[in-house]
Amino acid sequence: MASPLWPCGEVAPAVDASAPVAKSWGMSLNLIKLCVGCDSIEDLEEWIAFRVDERRRAGEPAEHWHTTRMVPTRGDEITDGGSLYWVIKGNVQCRQLITDIRPFTDDEGIGRCRLMLDLEVVRTDWQPRRAFQGWRYLKPADAPVDLGKGKAALAEMPPKLRLELAELGLL
């Protein structure tokens, strides 16, 4: 059997179907969502700490989740290292790793799901976003990068100053 040709005319290499497939870290699918009710990353972190503390005091597992109406159909791609990127005040500012997706039916018979989130909030480069409803898929290539050590001063900057600089296009 002749080897297939790539569009450029070169012979495509043969593929060994029995060879193990390498896991593709960093190509997981992400979600993006507006963080309604939070004015800053610090607000989000305080909210998470409050809710987790409530659950601990109630004798429940110290888990954190976000409930959403729509269940992502690409859940396996998301829970394979994907994150929920939060849009705060018009900018993607941070993300949380999505550890699980748990569909359920609420008391009114409406299907919903819990996006189970890691407790750590990872700050990212700011990326402007217009308002939208619900969540959207976010490809890794379109996601902002995490703030590195070289940008630690940016993470420590007061939220109001960060917002003003972002509005001026300086972040």
pLDDT digits (tens, 9 = 90+) for 55-113: 999 999 999 999 999 999 999 999 999 999 999 999 999 999 999 999 999 999 999 99
Instruction: Write down the pLDDT at residue 84.
Output: 98
Instruction: Write down the pLDDT at residue 158.
Output: 75
Instruction: Write down the pLDDT at residue 17.
Output: 47
Q: Specify the CATH number for the domain of residue 110.
A: 2.30.130
Q: How many domains does the chain have?
A: 1
Residue 125 lies in a domain: yes
Residue 73 lies in a domain: yes
Question: Is the per-residue pLDDT at 170 higher than 80?
Answer: no
Q: What is the rounded distance in angstroms from the CA atom of residue 135 to the CA atom of residue 47? A: 20
Instruction: Write down the pLDDT at residue 147.
Output: 86
Residue 57 lies in a domain: yes
Q: What is the pTM of this model?
A: 0.75
pLDDT per position as a tens digit, 135-167: 999 999 999 999 875 566 566 777 777 777 777
Instruction: Write down the pLDDT at residue 19.
Output: 43
Question: Is the per-residue pLDDT at 117 higher than 90?
Answer: yes
The answer to whether 30 and 142 have CB atoms below 8 angstroms apart is no
Residue 124 lies in a domain: yes
Residue 65 lies in a domain: yes
Of residues 77, 166, 71, 82, the one with CA closest to residue 126: 166
Backbone phi and psi for residue 63, each to the nearest 5 degrees, phi listed first = -110, 155
Instruction: Write down the pLDDT at residue 29.
Output: 97
Instruction: Write down the pLDDT at residue 101.
Output: 97
Higher-pLDDT residue of 2 and 117 is 117
Question: What is the span of the domain harbouring residue 71?
Answer: 30-149
Residue 6 lies in a domain: no
Residue 71 lies in a domain: yes
Residue 110 pairs with which residues in a beta bridge?
none
Residue 54 lies in a domain: yes
